[in-house]
Amino acid sequence: MLTASGSPSAAALFAPDADVRVEEVRIVEGEVIHVALRCARHCASCPVCGHEASRVHSVYSRSLADLAWRGFPVRLAVRVRRFRCGHATCPRALFAERLDDLAGPYARRTTRLTRTLTRVGMALGGEAGARLLPILGASASPSTMLRLVRRSPPPTRPTPRVLGVDDWARRRGHTYGTVLVDLERRVPVELLPDREAATFAQWLREHPGVEVIARDRAEAYAQGARDGAPAAVQVADRWHLLKNVGELLERLLHAHRAALAEAALAEPAPASAPTPPARDSDPAASSSAPRANPSTLPTPEGVRRSPEPLTPARAVAAGRQAARQARYDQVKALRAQGLSHRAIGTRVGMTPATVRKYLAAPTCPTRAPRRTKVGTLTRVDAHLRARWQEGCEDALVLWREVQEIGFRGSLRTIQRHVERWRATGRRTDVLRATASSAPRPPSPRQVRWWLTLPAERLSEGQRCYVARLTEACAPIRAARQLAVTFGVVLRGGEANALGPWLEDATESGLTSFQDFAAGLRRDQASIEAAIREPWSNGQTEGQVNKLKMLKRQMYGRAGLPLLRQRMLATAA
């Protein structure tokens, strides 16, 4: 045990803000530093009446945990006096002197240690924070860490001039809240318990001074902004508007899948590489190559294609397609009778979104063929086939060759690949037209991006495909023109250009774009503001992402008060 006498300068080390004097410092077994303190004042103020008292009744010791010193935990033993209050009208006869600058009443740790634990809890949460504390020379349970976080006062921020608003899922699909963000300072200012218009309007009334409100197209936030801050300028989010147009285009492409396939089949076939011999006994061979439906391939002139056998899997698929066709016909018939989307869905057993999809499709939707994953051998398969046809059957030689063109797989991968070819014992000199040589049509999502991206960002094959598709399908050509023009309008900065676009969408004959244009007219002021103003909801979306991270960090079990404390404090 090492003992050192106290000095006035030692008090500045262990209690810099308190009027105390260090009496003794001891290091016990090289593990804990014990510090004996006493108050330096001769009198104390009564906490009830505020009068000074100097008559000491008794003395007791308070034990406080303090910040560690060079990794050693510190324990403070403070000598506290009880005083007699001599004021005649004071109901308190005895009181203990306060250590407000050192620790609060009944506290077992110093104020600065409590502040440190609270900051650790704000940043890491309960479990992770409790695991970190021993490294800092402190200790606390996860429950204590969260209790300190809940008790800490939330930071106060001025009312933002430019406010971003968006919803976030407390429990996805069930309960939602609202996050409010100061877009100028780029910090969250509040979490609301729901996404109702009345709640948002009430917050705006309690915080006057908001001049600009950036939001998505949710009607609840639009109504809340009109009720709570009628003078504020509402700005729709440009990204959500472009996303809505892209979804319209994608739904239209889903309805014209046949046109997508025809445009792919019309592509000039590239010179194909030699193929390995037939492997009818090994259907797993060349699994890395993409497959297409042989029935969609062009048949050589003068050759009749024999009908494919109806396997059990194809029989099941045909039955499902027949049932899908029956539901499609039923949906069309019910719509012709005047039923709403929701009523049709209830009767047929579909969601309203699926009903809208069926009604928008000119023919019965079909299930898209399963898309083959791109394996490690896909990019070198043509080279392997060509070398195999040339007579090179040495897997080691083939492996070394494909390594030079970027292959990163093992030798064993190449050996397994060519073993299937070697099992036939012969090579073919005539190329066979296989199903894998047929072009696979791109997905509607891929085509959606090809239609909206600038031509310089597309490859030559993609530009040719887009040209063939738009030339063959008038609805897709019109939808593409509307989508591209809408993007130009949003980025152009001229709000007057929105009106002509709305007229073009209304007269396009495309039902989805006509409905979209009608919705934009109802919120035209905020969309024109989005074209003029620089504000957007991008910062708000980033804060929602941060909120999700905090929520998942606590395994989704944190309530709104705890989430609010951590969200607002970590941005302070």
What are the φ and ψ backbone dihedral angles of 459, each rounded to 5 degrees? -75, 170
User: CA end-to-end span of the chain, whole Å?
Assistant: 43
Q: From CA 68, how far away is CA 472, in angstroms rounded?
A: 76
H helix runs in 58-208, sequence order: 111-124, 126-132, 142-151, 197-206
Considering the chain, what is the average pLDDT of its residues?
84
Q: What pLDDT band is residue 379 in, cutting at 50, 70 and 90?
A: confident
CA angle (251, 252, 257) in 5-degree steps: 95
What 8-state DSSP symbol labels residue 313? Answer: H
Contact of 557 with 551, CB cutoff 8 Å = no
Higher-pLDDT residue of 405, 16: 405
Whether 402 has a pLDDT exceeding 70, the answer reads yes
208-248: per-residue pLDDT in tens? Answer: 999 999 999 899 999 999 999 999 999 999 999 999 999 99
Helix (H, G, I), strand (E, B) or coil at 288: coil
**465-486 b/e (C-beta count within 10 Å ≥ 16 → b):** bbebbbeebebbebbbebbbbb
Return the domain boundaries, the chain: 2-109, 162-237+536-570, 241-266+442-532, 273-288+372-430, 330-369
292 has pLDDT over 50: no
Location of structure tokens 């407390």: 170
pLDDT in tens, 54-68: 889 999 999 999 999
- The tokens for 539 are 């910062």
Which tokens in the block code for residue 514? 């006509």
Give dist(CA 476, CA 324) in Å, integer: 25
Q: Is the pLDDT of residue 140 over 70?
A: yes
Q: Cα dihedral angle (125, 126, 128, 133), rounded to 10 degrees?
A: 110
Mean pLDDT is lowest, of 16-25, 369-378, 517-526, for: 369-378
CATH topology classification for 162-237+536-570: Nucleotidyltransferase; domain 5 (3.30.420)
Least confident span in 88-97, 194-203, 268-277, 490-499: 268-277
Q: What is the mean pLDDT of residues 131-157?
A: 91
Q: Is the pLDDT of residue 5 over 70?
A: no
Element (H, E) at 328: helix 312-336
Band (pLDDT 50/70/90 cuts) for residue 13 is low
Residue the block writes with tokens 């262990």: 14
pLDDT of residue 367: 76
Instruction: With a cut of 60, say whether residue 562 has pLDDT above it.
Output: yes
Q: Please write down the HEC assignment for all residues of 441-495.
A: CCCHHHHHHHHHCCHHHCCHHHHHHHHHHHHHCHHHHHHHHHHHHHHHHHHHCCH
400 token code pair: 């070394």
pLDDT at 343: 92
Model pLDDT for residues 431-458, shown as the tens digit of each residue:
343 334 445 788 999 999 999 999 999 9
Q: How confident is the model at residue 431, as a pLDDT?
A: 35
pTM: 0.69
User: pLDDT band at 528, cuts 50/70/90?
Assistant: very high
Residue 360 has a pLDDT of 82
* Residue matched to tokens 């729901």: 194
Identify which has the larger pLDDT, 261 or 212: 212
**Hey, how many other C-beta atoms are within 10 angstroms of the C-beta on 289?**
19
